[in-house]
């Protein structure tokens, strides 16, 4: 193909209504059904937990999550802000409405029909009036090659989100600085973020992308290591360090403070070393669908 030639491609049509339907289903499913690997990990750790109270807490958590799935009830009353990740193929055309409206319509329906809690206030500072339908959703859209449309919903509870943090470190801080920051954040979070936790760490990028990397790290399958062996080893090291803090299940003391530490990393400025820690509780709800 020479310079100046034009390749015509026909966009794939995706209906806005199908996006809304998909979101509504994801809201209900993600809040009621834990990822299977979370349950497996909690089960495996429960037998190794040193604290009797900790073992009892883990057994209760497992019972809760099985009940939630069986009766299709929200595992936790905090069914979160609806955080939505969209991977939109550049060959997709959305018809019959716009993307943002479709997403919010789906969230509105899912939270209503699934008897989920509406936890959004319209104004953060002054009147803090509940919007009543859990909208607006937080939406992160990435344009990708192809004609697919992948929707991931990660409902995010307030307790764990409140204990998350960003540090703009200097490069000299290095691995040691990152280790100290991550472990300190988990210690500071204590019982508030409902341990056992999933710890999302974002390293690199800039002031706004490091937290997004940390949040995306929470979407990875629990315990799936970073593909870079250096980061995978660092994840394992951080997990061990966090579990030595003694917080244990619900912070009541014990050896199971985190189920996993996941790191996502990105290139950054020569002057910078941004590090973000985004915490999730043991539920760590998220689910995807591809249209």
Residues that bind other proteins (CB under 8 A): 50-51, 53-54, 57, 60-61, 63-65, 67-68, 71, 73-79, 115-119, 128, 130, 132, 158-159, 162, 183, 190-192, 194, 241, 244-248, 250-255, 281-283
Question: Least CB distance from residue 200 to other proteins, whole Å?
Answer: 17
Q: How far is the CB of 112 from other proteins (least distance, A)?
A: 9
Phi/psi of residue 174, nearest 5 degrees: 55, -160
Q: Cβ 77 to other proteins, closest distance in Å?
A: 4
Contact 251, 190 (CB under 8 A): yes
Please check whether residue 291 is in contact with residue 22, taking contact to mean a CB–CB distance below 8 angstroms: yes
Nearest CA to 88 out of 9, 8, 6, 11 is that of 11
Indicate the SS3 state at residue 102.
helix
| Nearer of residues 115 and 207 to other proteins, judged by Cβ | 115
Nearer to other proteins, 59 or 138 (CB): 59
Give every strand in the sheet of 258-268, ordered side by side. 165-169, 273-280, 197-205, 258-268
Closer residue to other proteins, CB minimum distance, 252 or 291: 252
φ and ψ of 149, to 5 deg: -140, 105
C-beta closer to other proteins: residue 54 or 205: 54
Query: Min. distance of Cβ 27 from other proteins in angstroms?
Result: 12
For strand 12-15 and strand 92-95, is the pairing parallel, antiparallel, or unpaired? parallel
Instruction: Give the shortest CB-175-to-other proteins separation in angstroms.
Output: 17
Output 93 or 244, the one with its CB closest to other proteins: 244
| ∠ Cα 16 22 23 (to 5°) | 90
Query: Which of 206/237 has CB closer to other proteins?
Result: 237
Taking the complex as a whole, the smallest distance from the CB of residue 152 to other proteins amounts, in Å, to 21
> Kind of pairing, strands 149-156 and 81-89?
antiparallel
Q: Which residue, 122 or 170, has its beta carbon nearer to other proteins?
A: 122
Cβ distance 25 to 212 under 8 Å? no
**Minimum distance, C-beta of residue 217 to other proteins, in the bound complex (Å):** 20
For 6, the enclosing helix (H) or strand (E) is none
Closest CA to 149 of 92, 216, 224, 68: 92
- Tell whether the torsion through CA atoms of 228, 231, 235 and 240 is positive or negative: positive
């Amino acid at each position: 193909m020479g310079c100046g030639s034009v390749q015509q491609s026909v966009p794939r049509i995706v209906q806005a209504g199908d996006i809304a339907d998909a979101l509504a289903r994801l809201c209900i499913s993600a809040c009621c059904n834990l990822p299977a690997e979370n349950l497996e990990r909690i089960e495996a750790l429960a037998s190794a937990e040193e604290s009797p109270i900790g073992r009892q807490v883990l057994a209760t958590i497992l019972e809760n999550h099985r009940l939630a799935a069986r009766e299709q009830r929200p595992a936790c009353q905090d069914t979160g802000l609806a955080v939505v990740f969209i991977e939109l193929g550049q060959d997709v055309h959305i018809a019959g409405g716009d993307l943002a409206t479709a997403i919010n319509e789906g969230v509105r329906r899912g939270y209503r029909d699934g008897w989920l809690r509406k936890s959004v206030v319209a104004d953060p500072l002054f009147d803090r009036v509940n919007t009543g339908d859990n909208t607006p959703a937080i939406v992160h859209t990435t344009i990708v090659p192809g004609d697919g449309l992948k929707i991931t919903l990660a409902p995010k509870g307030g307790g764990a989100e409140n204990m998350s943090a960003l540090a703009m470190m200097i490069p000299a801080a290095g691995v040691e600085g990152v280790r100290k920051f991550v472990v300190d954040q988990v210690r500071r979070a204590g019982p508030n973020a409902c341990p056992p936790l999933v710890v999302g760490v974002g390293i690199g990028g800039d002031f706004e992308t490091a937290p997004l990397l940390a949040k995306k790290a929470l979407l990875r399958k629990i315990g799936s290591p970073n593909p870079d062996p250096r980061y995978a080893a660092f994840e394992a090291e951080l997990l061990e360090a966090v579990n030595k803090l003694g917080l244990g299940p619900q912070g009541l003391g014990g050896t199971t403070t985190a189920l996993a530490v996941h790191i996502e990393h990105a290139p950054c400025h020569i002057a910078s070393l941004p590090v973000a820690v985004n915490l999730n509780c043991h539920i760590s709800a998220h689910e995807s669908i591809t249209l």
